[in-house]
Amino acid sequence: MNYRKHYNLIMERAKNRNINGYKEIHHIIPLCMNGNNDKSNLVELTPEEHFLAHQLLVKIYPKNKKILYAAWMMKNTRKFSNNKSYGWLKREYIETLKERSKQPDFYIPSSLGYKHKQSFKDEQSLRWKKNNPSKTYWTKENRLIRSDKYKGKNNPNYGKQPLLGKKCFHNPVTNQEKYFEIGKEHPGFILGSIRNTHSKKGVGNNDTFN
């Protein structure tokens, strides 16, 4: 299957239409591949099209770990995709983590199904003890001191309304951030904060999608 052709068809169709109802903003050239937030690089997609576009990008650039990670994170926030797509992305993601685990100082949570050797656990424990600025930091006495220090008005979250059922969205054009309820229409905004979206902007190749 020509994945690039299918991707380009979705992008071209999106450029020549208007979506009535809920829509999501997609970067034609991903940010991790030197894409930008210019209007020419943004299209409006339905949630289904958006998820499909990211699956196609994984197929087009199978060695780009950031594109795979973006598709996997998107899968975790959506319920419309089928079990087959979930299984495929999960296997790809786990294999990527296993490759990265060969690098020093890299940790994979056991919740993802990866079991660490005892030697690795011992090494991590010694490294933490060595780098810990104060061996008595988490003593019972210090815990009580910190607890008293951040009680009441000293707590940075004091007086703030809880954001139950809400998540941070941002507008890639105006760089505005707002908290909205999940599952409702928020024109012009996409899920995630600006910091999380751009802080790890990497350098990829200069392929275009023409």
**CB-CB neighbours of 179 under 10 Å:** 12
Helix (H) or strand (E) holding 45: strand 42-45
For 19-76, the pLDDT digits (tens) are 887 788 999 999 999 999 999 999 998 878 888 899 899 999 988 888 988 887 877 6
Cα–Cα dist 36/84, whole Å: 32
Q: Are 45 and 17 in contact (CB under 8 A)?
A: no
Which amino acid appears at position 67 of this protein?
Answer: I
Domain boundaries, the chain: 3-198
Name residues whose C-beta falls within 8 Å of residue 189's C-beta, 6 or more positions apart in sequence: 25, 169, 170, 171, 178, 180
Q: Is the pTM of this model over 0.75?
A: no
Residues of the chain with pLDDT > 90, as a percent, come to 16
* DSSP output for 83-129: HHHHHHHHHHHHHHHHHHTTSTT----GGGT-PPPHHHHHHHHHHHH
Cα–Cα dist 29/37, whole Å: 10
34 three-class SS:
coil
Lowest mean pLDDT among 26-35, 175-184, 196-205: 196-205
